[in-house]
């Protein structure tokens, strides 16, 4: 997993505030009127054919105060698990009770995870790659920024390495914590049933595919969570969640980081919600289950239903061979596709209007970049992109050309044929010319 798509390596299945924001939107939109009469006991819909498998009740875990979770809380957790199983139609996951931690305790938890799963050499590589793109300033550190972003945004996570569930709450198992558990338990069901490859500690070595796979699992969990909420929470509980969301302070955090974190939830809910049918209270996951056997290859497929239906594959693109172009004193430190979603996110971060950024990223066919560092910390980035039409290529070139004028290092955007573009960033004009000449 390379730089632009790296987050906490093992917290690939987190619930951030944007996911509950979808519920807040539903509340504001009047969709809580779909909630069944809260006086009626919650039962599985008779249209669902799967039933929970027998499993031992979870063992007591810590509460926010550090005391063991009491029996009433454990009973509620088991009930939520059975309800989610009935909605999602997958067998029970063999996990223990969740850890309920406070937001203050989350900060320490995230530091521990970073120390264990994100070693200094990986952080430095990612910093160098992001600076070569112009996405980080020289004094910014990706790990510090991620700790700040996740510390304010994360409501819970499922640790796919340790099969451990964590819910962040300062008020015990309140409605927001129940909602979080329904979302995260769906991730446990996904892990047990399908073992998505991006759930491994290493993730994927393709940034765009990593983001597409995360969109699959987060969209799935969000659709399940919303169906659970409308079926099993009262009107009062839904309103409490929907009106109690506070927008986190993201001052000083690059916008591309915020938007990449939110993308899998907002885009995934639309994509998976479409595949699951027209009734959000009774989603049909048969087509969603099939996606895990034939998962998306790019964010283009999850963003555009026609690309998904056609299984439109990315165009194979080779990054320029920077090692050969620059010589033996240089090291290629990173290489990956960026993809349609992140291209649009990056363009917007650089000041391109959102609508124009989205349009400039559309028509993406495939891409691959390489970043190399050499003597005296000099750098070079070479990025080759393929587009569906000459018009698409020109639209991107115009947008990234506008970005190039704002970057603090030499940059060039050059056409290669009708539908391919070459973008080069470098520490000096001499390096820029050397890479361009070698790449062409």
pLDDT on residue 10: 34
In a domain, 315, yes or no: no
Question: Do 249 and 368 have their domain in common?
Answer: no
In a domain, 178, yes or no: yes
The counts of H helices and E strands in the chain are 17, 9
Question: Do 126 and 227 have their domain in common?
Answer: yes
pLDDT on residue 126: 93
pLDDT on residue 5: 44
Question: Do 298 and 415 have their domain in common?
Answer: no
Question: Do 424 and 286 have their domain in common?
Answer: no
pLDDT on residue 316: 97
Question: Do 337 and 246 have their domain in common?
Answer: no
| Tokens coding 223 | 């659709």
Question: Do 218 and 347 have their domain in common?
Answer: no
Question: Do 137 and 271 have their domain in common?
Answer: yes
pLDDT on residue 66: 46
Question: Do 227 and 257 have their domain in common?
Answer: yes
Concatenating the DSSP letter of every residue in 171-240 gives SSS-HHHHHHHHHHHHHHHHHHHH--GGGSTT--S-HHHHHHHHHHHHHHHHHHHHHHHHHHS-HHHHHH
Q: Which of 309, 332, 366 is the last residue of a domain?
A: 309
Alpha-carbon gap, residue 285 to 417, rounded angstroms: 43
- What does the chain come to in residues? 440
Write the CATH number for 344.
Answer: 3.40.1000.70
Name the pTM for this structure: 0.87
Q: Which of 249, 275, 309 is the last residue of a domain?
A: 309
- Which residue bears the tokens 């390096």? 431
Q: Where are the alpha helices (DSSP H) in 233-304?
A: 235-243, 255-275, 286-293, 299-303
For residue 10, the tally of other CB atoms under 10 A from its CB is 21
For 390, the 3-state DSSP assignment is helix
Question: Do 152 and 207 have their domain in common?
Answer: yes
Alpha-carbon gap, residue 194 to 289, rounded angstroms: 9
Residue-range definition of the domain harbouring residue 417: 322-439
pLDDT on residue 369: 98
In a domain, 277, yes or no: yes
For 374, the 3-state DSSP assignment is coil
Concatenating the DSSP letter of every residue in 94-163 gives ---PPEEE-HHHHHHHHHHHHHHHS-HHHHHHHHHHHHHHTSS-TT--HHHHHHHHHHHHEEEEEETTTT
Total domains in the chain come to 2
pLDDT on residue 40: 24
Q: Which of 309, 334, 365 is the last residue of a domain?
A: 309
Question: Do 280 and 158 have their domain in common?
Answer: yes
Alpha-carbon gap, residue 214 to 16, rounded angstroms: 13
Burial of residue 265 (CB within 10 Å: 0-12, 13-18, 19+) is buried
What is the full per-residue pLDDT of the chain (440 aa) written as tens digits? 444 444 433 344 456 566 666 666 655 554 433 322 222 222 222 222 222 233 333 433 444 444 556 788 889 999 999 999 999 999 999 898 889 999 899 899 888 888 888 889 999 999 999 999 999 999 999 999 998 888 887 888 888 878 888 888 888 899 988 998 999 999 999 999 999 998 876 777 899 999 999 999 999 999 999 999 999 999 899 888 877 767 778 899 999 999 998 899 999 999 999 999 999 999 999 999 999 999 999 999 999 999 999 999 999 999 999 999 999 899 999 999 999 999 999 999 999 999 999 999 999 999 999 999 999 999 999 999 999 999 999 999 999 999 999 999 999 999 999 999 999 999 999 999 999 999 98
In a domain, 377, yes or no: yes
pLDDT on residue 14: 53
In a domain, 246, yes or no: yes
In a domain, 316, yes or no: no
| Tokens coding 69 | 């979770």
In a domain, 314, yes or no: no
Question: Do 283 and 328 have their domain in common?
Answer: no
In a domain, 378, yes or no: yes
Question: Do 39 and 178 have their domain in common?
Answer: yes
């Amino acid at each position: 997993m390379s730089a632009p798509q790296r987050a906490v390596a093992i917290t690939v299945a987190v619930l951030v505030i944007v996911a509950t924001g979808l519920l807040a939107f539903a509340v504001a939109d009047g969709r809580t009127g779909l909630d069944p009469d809260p006086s009626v006991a919650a039962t599985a819909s008779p249209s669902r054919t799967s039933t929970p498998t027998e499993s031992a009740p979870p063992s007591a875990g810590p509460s926010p105060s550090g005391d063991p979770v009491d029996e009433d809380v454990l009973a509620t957790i088991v009930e939520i698990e059975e309800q989610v199983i009935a909605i999602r139609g997958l067998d029970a996951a063999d996990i223990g009770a969740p850890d309920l931690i406070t937001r203050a305790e989350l900060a320490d938890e995230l530091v521990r995870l970073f120390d264990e799963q994100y070693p200094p050499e990986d952080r430095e590589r990612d910093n160098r790659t992001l600076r070569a793109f112009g996405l980080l300033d020289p004094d910014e550190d990706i790990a510090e920024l991620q700790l700040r972003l996740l510390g304010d945004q994360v409501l819970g996570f499922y640790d796919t390495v340790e099969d451990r569930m964590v819910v962040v709450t300062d008020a015990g198992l309140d409605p927001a914590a129940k909602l979080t558990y329904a979302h995260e338990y769906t991730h446990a069901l996904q892990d047990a049933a399908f073992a998505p490859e991006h759930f491994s500690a290493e993730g994927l070595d393709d940034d765009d595919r990593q983001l597409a796979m995360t969109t699959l699992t987060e969209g799935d969990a969000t659709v399940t969570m919303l169906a659970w909420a409308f079926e099993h929470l009262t009107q009062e509980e839904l309103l409490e969640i929907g009106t109690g969301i506070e927008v986190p302070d993201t001052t000083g955090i690059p916008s591309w980081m915020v938007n990449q974190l939110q993308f899998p939830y907002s885009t995934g809910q639309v994509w998976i919600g479409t595949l699951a049918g027209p009734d959000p209270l009774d989603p049909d996951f048969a087509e969603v289950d099939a996606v895990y056997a034939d998962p998306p290859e790019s964010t283009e497929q999850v963003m555009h239903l026609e690309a998904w239906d056609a299984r439109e594959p990315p165009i194979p693109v080779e990054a320029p061979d920077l090692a050969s172009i620059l010589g033996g004193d240089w090291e290629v430190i990173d290489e990956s596709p960026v993809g349609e979603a992140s291209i649009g996110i990056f363009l917007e971060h650089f000041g391109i209007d959102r609508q124009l950024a989205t349009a400039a990223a559309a028509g993406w066919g495939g891409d691959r970049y390489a970043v190399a560092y050499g003597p005296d910390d000099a750098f070079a980035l070479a990025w080759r992109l393929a587009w569906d039409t000459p018009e698409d290529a020109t639209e991107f070139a115009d947008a990234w050309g506008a970005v190039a004028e704002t970057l603090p290092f030499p940059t060039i955007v050059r056409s290669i044929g009708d539908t391919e573009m070459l973008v080069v960033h470098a520490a000096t004009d001499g390096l820029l010319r050397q890479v361009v000449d070698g790449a062409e």
